[in-house]
Structure 1
Amino acid sequence: MKKIVFIKAPSLLRDGIVGVMQQELADFEIKTFGPNEEKAIFNDGKIADLAIIDLDTKIDRQATIDYYKRHNKKVVVWTSSLNNPSLVDLFKQGLHGYFFNGMEKDELIAAVKTILSDKIYINDELSPVLLGDYVKMNEKEPNRPVGVFTNREWEVMELLMEGYSNEKIGNHLFITDKTVKNYISSILKKLEVRDRTNVVLTALRNKWFYV
């Protein structure tokens, strides 16, 4: 049986989250750890396939992250604050997920399944924060793949990078709103991502654009 570890101080919220995961992810063992339990984490027998780490929980966070990364396991961080000073540094580390308090049950389960299928998940509330800082550390020389996107798709993606709405993209490129939606759908499909925010993040991460 596969295993998920949730590192968070004991609370009704933790109990509720664990209950949801146990109900919806029946094929997984869900195990919890609280503050200052690093030794127990590192000596827990079978290493978890996914570790979800609450940033407000008092543990040696970096040692824990490094432990799971060293064993090629997936790591998610969970924050209750958009202003958490650790977020940008954690984003630079290229973890598998970034969760934010207030996620609904369906979003939480979809996010976990997305990560377990080897994709990255970033909560929409965190995207503007992470994106704004990621832009600053991206290199200036774009490095775009050949033969993946059409010229028009690159144009649409560039306007998405600038925060254009569908209407503004259509006006800029002199195409209809329906055509814009078709291009965006094609881009989403090729990148295997769920929304425009993740299009932008994927493009930046792969250094296809410099903003």
Structure 2
Amino acid sequence: MIKVMNFYFIKKPSLLRDGIQELLKRRFNGSHIICCNQFNHEEINEASIILIDVNEALTKLADLERLHNEGIKIVLWIEELASQEAKPLFKLGLEGYLYYDIDEDTLVQALKFIQEGKRYVSPFLGGMLIDVYRETHVKKPNPPLDLLSRREWEVLQLLVKGYNNVQIADELFLSDKTVKNYVSSILHKLHVPDRTNAVIKALKKQWLYL
């Protein structure tokens, strides 16, 4: 059963906004959903999750940083974005970065992840976030060695470098099936839905470096 949540969606009126509002009503039955063009600070304080369009977010960086520091979960909704424009928003380290082509089931899963205190990044945006971490994070890895096995850390390091399963298998002299098993185990232990979010988590926590 999906937990009832209060969504606050900041985006100019559009068919897409209407569609997302209907989706949230249908998939998060009983949840309170507010769609608006701008911040209303009283309503925001009652929100479980704030979804905000990237164009609105770019004009509200100070507000977003303050709300984020206060512990309010913020998710960036991205339709069109230049990487240079993205940097200030990615540096905030918000709870979610969603690309507009996300399918319904993945969107629901992502919002549930975020409500549980985890983070979600659409795979399409992973490269942009990795570029930001490359520029802003000190390359002094400090992995919690007891979290993963030695071999799993080796696999994760190669994922961070952008290797696919076949390349990892060749590098570590493993079978494709064994690599798939290691990747699945890593995702389970890190509590992330996919390899993009595993890489982002490892870089954000400075467990590994590029």
Given the two structures, how large is their TM-score scaled by the length of structure 2?
Answer: 0.90
Task: Return the letter of the residue paired with 2:114.
Answer: I
- CA distance, structure 1, for counterparts of residue 67 and residue 25 of structure 2: 22
Q: Which residue of 1 aligns with 2:158?
A: 159
- CA distance, structure 1, for counterparts of residue 58 and residue 184 of structure 2: 42
- CA distance, structure 1, for counterparts of residue 80 and residue 159 of structure 2: 26
Which structure shows the higher helix fraction?
Answer: 2
What are the equivalent positions in structure 2 for 1:150-189 lying under 5 Å apart? 150-189=149-188
| Of 50-59 and 198-207, the range deviating more from structure 2 | 50-59
Confirm or deny: 8 A CA contact 1:82 1:126 kept in the other structure. Answer: no
Identity %: 37
In the TM superposition, residue 102 of structure 1 has moved relative to its aligned partner by 2.1
Q: Which residue of 2 aligns with 1:43?
A: 42
SS for the counterpart of 1:78 is: strand
| Of 57-66 and 44-53, the range deviating more from structure 2 | 57-66
Mark the runs of 5 or more structure 2 residues left unpaired by the alignment.
none
SS for the counterpart of 1:32 is: strand
SS for the counterpart of 2:56 is: coil
Task: Return the letter of the residue paired with 1:151.
Answer: R
Corresponding position: 1:101 with 2:100: yes
SS for the counterpart of 2:128 is: helix
Confirm or deny: 8 A CA contact 2:96 2:121 kept in the other structure. Answer: yes
| Of 99-108 and 113-122, the range deviating more from structure 2 | 99-108
Task: Return the letter of the residue paired with 1:32.
Answer: C
Match of 1:24 among 2, 7, 27: 27
In the TM superposition, residue 58 of structure 1 has moved relative to its aligned partner by 7.8
- CA distance, structure 2, for counterparts of residue 27 and residue 66 of structure 1: 29
Given the two structures, how large is their TM-score scaled by the length of structure 1?
Answer: 0.89
Once the two structures are superposed, residues 130-155 of structure 1 have per-residue CA deviations (whole angstroms, 9 ceiling, x without a partner) of 21232222212111113121111111
| Of 62-71 and 177-186, the range deviating more from structure 2 | 62-71
- CA distance, structure 1, for counterparts of residue 203 and residue 53 of structure 2: 26
Mark the runs of 5 or more structure 1 residues left unpaired by the alignment.
none
Corresponding position: 1:12 with 2:15: yes
Aligned pair in 2 of structure 1 residues 47, 64: CA closer, same or farther (>3 Å)? farther
What are the equivalent positions in structure 2 for 1:55-66 lying under 5 Å apart? 55-57=54-56, 60-66=59-65
Confirm or deny: 8 A CA contact 1:50 1:74 kept in the other structure. Answer: yes
CA RMSD of aligned residues (A): 2.0
SS for the counterpart of 1:119 is: coil
Aligned pair in 2 of structure 1 residues 117, 151: CA closer, same or farther (>3 Å)? same
Q: Which residue of 1 aligns with 2:72?
A: 73
| Of 55-64 and 19-28, the range deviating more from structure 2 | 55-64
Which of 1 and 2 has greater Rg?
1
Once the two structures are superposed, residues 39-98 of structure 1 have per-residue CA deviations (whole angstroms, 9 ceiling, x without a partner) of xx1133852111001122388412431453254210011121241533222222111001
Aligned pair in 2 of structure 1 residues 80, 192: CA closer, same or farther (>3 Å)? same
SS for the counterpart of 1:56 is: helix
